[in-house]
Each structure stands twice: as structure tokens, then as C-alpha cells.
Structure 1
Amino acid sequence: MNDDDLRAWLQLVLTPGVGPAAARRLLAALGSPQAVLSAAPDTLKALSTPRERKGLATGVPELPTWWTRAQAWLQGGPNRGVLSLACPAYPRCLLQDEVDPPLLLWWEGDLALLGAPAVALVGSRHATPQGLADARAFAKALSEAGLTVVSGLADGIDGAAHRGALEASNADGSPGPAPGRTVAVVGTGLDSVYPRKHAALAQAIAAQGLMVSEFAPGTPPKADHFPRRNRLVAGLSRGTLVVEAAVQSGSLITARLASEMGREVMAIPGSIHAPQARGCHALIRQGARLVETVADVLEELQWGGARVPDSAAAAHALGAAPSDTSDSPDTDDPVLQAMGHGPISQEALSARTGLGPAELGARLLELELMGEVARLPGLLFQRQAVA
């Protein structure tokens, strides 16, 4: 786009009272943002509501500020750009009413990933250590299998998914980016990162994958932006895998949107005692695919381009047979055996093992330092699966 075109698109996006659906309706009738913005009152009367006409007549007084921010960001680094709904490079997977395609998509990184086969991997911001480990291992294996991992850069599962995908190695075991990388869809302008602690992660994604937003540079995080982000996470993907989620969470919104778009929905089950597993269990009851290994994901997506991952974590996530653990020091550990794999309180564990509080507390601390056990909020403990 040249500057005049981008300025017209930006003004249409920012016009008060004219949402994406109304803008697309006007564009379909009049052909271009310039034509919409310069249309005669009689023409608009037949095509728009009074509220929309009022917004178009008022204009965008802050447009110069938005324009300056957009230009500064576009010129501030390599591999940055913006796609309009009319651009040939606009991703086809978003061009359906169920997705509510945005008029503009701002991007930084490898634009080719917008058209790559992808899977969304989402979950709780307040994930358990096991959930974070699962997300990272699954994302790494999926990336090494040739799929791009899409998520929302949020705390918890999203961040672990991006990191796992970035850690993927090539099929021959050599270091470097795998063909399937990662796309972060964010709810702010690309000139800011939310949460701030993911600033370094966002830089790594921009360098090795792709950052995407429908919000212009200068847009701060707002609560209503994140459900809109979720629909793009689902829309860019062949299917959505939920790792951990509470019953009411943004991850379940993403899964519902994926289902409405005709995309596959998958969920990893968890302990019946874990609040973070209840959303996944609800999805499974509603018909989502129960996933135990990455092989389940590849089968559900009918992904025939899968390669065999080389890393131990990826092989574990794919459901490879575990190695012989007969000599493992924790095989006969009574605390680990009594713990199982779900969250458990120290009191319940004491009742199962017969150990007193002091002895059990000391053993739990040892196991925690060894990485065998994780301490969870609410004075709970959980055994860690080892890849």
C-alpha cells in the first residue's frame, strides 16, 4: 500500500460508530476506503445506519497522531508491514464471516507463516508446572512435525507454547529454525508488549516467527481486545489444542470460536482435582478430541507432512515408548507412588504414606529440588512427568 491508501484504511478502521462488519459492507458496495470516506450523503443514506453516517461525518480528529505512530513503527525496523483486506497476501483462512476478518493486519517477522499449516495451542494464564511443561513439549514436537504453533503471547500456557516452538530443531537434528515456527497474535499495537515480561520472547518471535495484530501501533491493552485476538488465533489454525483451562476462560472462548469456524478442537485431560483441568474436561464432554500425545493431534488434523522429532521431549510428547526405568531412583519411592499424578495436599499424602509432617515435608523438599515434584498454589503438590 502507498501512504494515501494506508491513511484511508486507517481512518476507516478508526471511524467511531463504524465497526468491521459495517466497514466491509460499505467496501463491498463502494469499492475502496477512499470511496467510502468521500461518498455523498445520499449514497451513504442507502448503505448505512444513522450512527455510521454520524461517525463518517465526524471523522477521526486524532488521525494525525495515529498516522505518526504507524509511520514511526513501520520505519523502525526490518520485516514490518500491514495488510489490508484487499491485499493479495491477506490470509485466506481469515476470509470468512465466522472469523470477522479485520480490515488491517499489522505484522512483524516472516509473513509467509500466515499461510503455513498451523495449530493453535492455548491454555490457562495460571498454569501448573506440569501444564507448562506439557505445552512446551507439545509445541516443540508440533513444530518439528512441520506445523506452525499459533498462540496469544499471554502468560502461562501461551508463553510456554511459543518457547517450545522456538526451541524446535530441524528434522536432521541440526540447530536452527524448524519449518513449522510460531505466530503470536496480540491484543495491543505491535509497538508494545503485554505482558511486559514477555518483551524478550516477543523479540525472539519477531526474529524467528511472526507477530500479528489487528490493532494499530499505539493501541494499549484493553479487556475487550483479547476476545478479538482469540478469534484470530483460532482462525489462523487448522485446529485448537487446549492444554489447561478453567471452566470460564479465554481459552474456552478460543475453542468455541474454532468449533464455530469448522476447525478441530482438542484438549488434554488432567486430574479431577485440578481446577485448571475442568475446562478441558468440559470440552471433551462436548465432543473435543481427547489428546494424550502429539500423534493424536497429527491424526486429528490429518497432517501427512509430519516428520519424526529428534528431541527427547518431542519424542515423549509424541507418545514414544518410555525407556527402561527399572534402575531409576524414584521407581520405588513411596512418596511418589502415593502421590500419583494429580495435585494433592500434604495432609492427604501423609495419610496415604503414614509419614509424619516433618519427615514428609523434608522428603517433599528433596523431591522438589530434584525436579520430581512441583509445589502448587493452595499448599498442594504434584508429581512432574519427566520427558
Structure 2
Amino acid sequence: MFPPTSLLTTLLLALSIAASPVEVRNSPVTLPIVRKLNVSDGTINLLKRDKSYVVAIQERSFSALDRRDDSVPVTNDAAVGSYIVQVGIGRPATTYNLVVDTSSSNTWIGASTPYVKTSTSVNTGQLVSFGYGSGAFFGTEYTDAFTLSDGLIITDQSIGVSSPSMAFGFAGVDGILGLGPVALTEGTLNNQPVTQIPTVTENLYNQNIISQNVVGISFDPITSLTGTNGELTFGGTNPAKYTGSIAYTPITATFPATFYAGINGSITYGTTTLLSAAGIVNTRTALIYVATDVFTEYQSATCSTLDEATGLLRITSTQYSALKNLNFEIGSSTYALTPNGQIWPRSLNTYIGGSSSAIYLIINDIGLPSGQGIDFILGYTFLERFYSVFDTTNSRVGFATTKYTNATTN
């Protein structure tokens, strides 16, 4: 933890009590992230995993209605096609590789590396579980020291402790780092259906390690199997990772998107409006998902065909030349996904089960018609073009352009 008398901490605390929402820049909790693609995990499997998680988001939201009676190194793990963060738990710390998930909030371990108990480990005696569509875990709640970087330790952090036999769909990783709203933890302690569990970000804030409950996320496009391509920043943003200023929009009131990093927005292809509705921002899904009727319109407008080998839309070089921007109008700003930003990196085609000469689109079908309350999901292929900020303190989500927004790397 940073000394409370340090100049930086004093400045951040002063900013946090300002009368209007402020942006904390140069957060002290910022470290690089790395992404790698597992060549043994084909796109069709990634698509199936993505879609099963999309279904879980939708089903979890409806069950929620029933219940109403700083930065760390990250890699894109092959086994699940998601970004992975390394953390330490216990003192001395054991290192665990956790999936970064903004659409769930429980943090848990044990899918691969066994939990090593130390003097800081406390068994609360509570059973904890959660389902993700593409996987699930069952285990026991502990509190323990939680290390994000050298010398940066959260005390008494709640974690779920599972085992390989009780964690399903997480081969190759150790568990989840839940960065979503704390309300998503409600009901995960099996005998306490209305209890909420403080998240890692909340405890960073509550223990005065960061001055605001904010996470900034930077993902850069990647065209090779491995490479450093971004960062997580807890407590603020890193101006070096974006251009211009961050534009914020309030969390939507639309159910069920309001349970997540939900936003209102419109989607246009060229000048044709395809959708005006609520959706969510999600680091866990790879692709961009839109409601079925919108997907059909997009497919027609791009003259694309469904590729059986990958499950993605495929276009010809001539059709690529005719592609128009896919615009996301969020708040008062428009974020244009260029033609190059709408396609999977061609240098990685063979690693996802596709043809090296093909052009695949990253827009896919959410599986339900529009009007369901989550009509689009912006996965990490969107976030690789735009910097994102999840600001729980002020109930808002922010975006900014980056030097890769108009890149032609794909």
C-alpha cells in the first residue's frame, strides 16, 4: 500500500472529494498486459464459448429480476480465449492466472493451481458458486492477502477457493478476476442469498489504495500469437494509452443491461441506422454481438456469407473494399469501427481454423431479436480499438480513441 502521507495519495484523495465527477489520471496501479492465442483452440470453439457466455449473461440477468422480490499483467489465454491477469494470493504469495471479466464480480481460484494456505488465509465457512455458461465453479470462501504488484497488497480480500474437479470450463487458467458491479455477487454465497461480496476494485478503494472505484482498460490489436498489447489500470486512467479525451455515458437504466457495464447506444452502418437500444461492454467475449435482426441487416448490407469452418461472416476482397464504417453512437460521441476494425486479423486466420486468404468479420449474432434489454455486446475486438473506463464511483462508462482506432493492422 502506498504511504498515506505521500504527495500522490494526498492529491488523489483531494480529487476524489471534488464537487463534480473528476478523472483521476496517472493512477499508481498500472502495469502491462500481454495477450497470446492458443493455436489449438479454433474459432468455432471460441465462438461456441462466447455464445454460451452470452446466454449465461442473459439468463443471469433474468434470475436477478426474480431475486428482487492501479494495473496488472494480462495474457489472452488460449484455453478460454480471454485476457488473463497474474495475481498473488497469501503471504508469501502464490501466483495465479485469472480471467479478466467485467461481466462477473466474484474472484476465485483453484481450477488449475491449488490454493496454498498461509498465515493470512481465513476460511469463512461459506460455500460459494457461480455459473458462466461456458463454465462454473463451486468452492469455499476465504479471505486472504491479494497482491496486484510488488508491495501493493489488498488485505482480507474475499476469494472463492475451488478445485479442478469442481471448476468446469477453465482448463489452462486458475479462475476469474471479477471486475463487474458488486451486485453481481449477490446470491453467490449459497446460504446468504442477499449478501454482496466486496470486489477487488472495491477493496482497493475502501482500503485507500486508489481514490476512486475506477478501472481503465487498454487493449491494442494483435497480429501475432503473443505480444504485449495493453494494461489494466486501477483507480484511474493512463493518458499515454488514448488520444484526445475520454467521453462518459451513464450506466443505462434498461433492464437487464443495468446489472452490468450497460450503456445506451445506436449502431449505424454507413448512414443506415441498425439499432438504438441498450447493450453492455464485456472483456470476456471476443467478438461484437448484435441482436439477430440487426445481424441479418448487417449481413445483408455487407453481402457477407456465413462460413461453416469458423462460424464467422466471410467477405471477398471486393466486398471488403466496399465496407463502410460501423458506427457506435454512445452518449454524445460516435466511435467508428473502420472496415479494417471489423475484420479478424488475417495473419491469424489459420490459427482460428480459417483460410489464410479469407476475410472474416467480427460481428456476430447475439441469438435473440432486439428489444430484450441487452441488444449488443462490445467484446474485446471492439476494446482493442478504443480505450475503455469502468467508473463505478460515478456510475458511468467512458471511451476514448487510441492510436490504433484507425489502424490497418488486420
Please indicate, yes or no, whether the TM-score normalized by the shorter chain is above 0.5.
no
Which structure has more RCO (C-alpha within 8 Å, separation ≥ 6)? 2
Q: Which structure has the highest helix share of the two? A: 1
Q: Which has the larger radius of gyration?
A: 1
TM-score by length of 2: 0.24
Q: Which structure has the highest strand share of the two? A: 2
TM-score by length of 1: 0.25
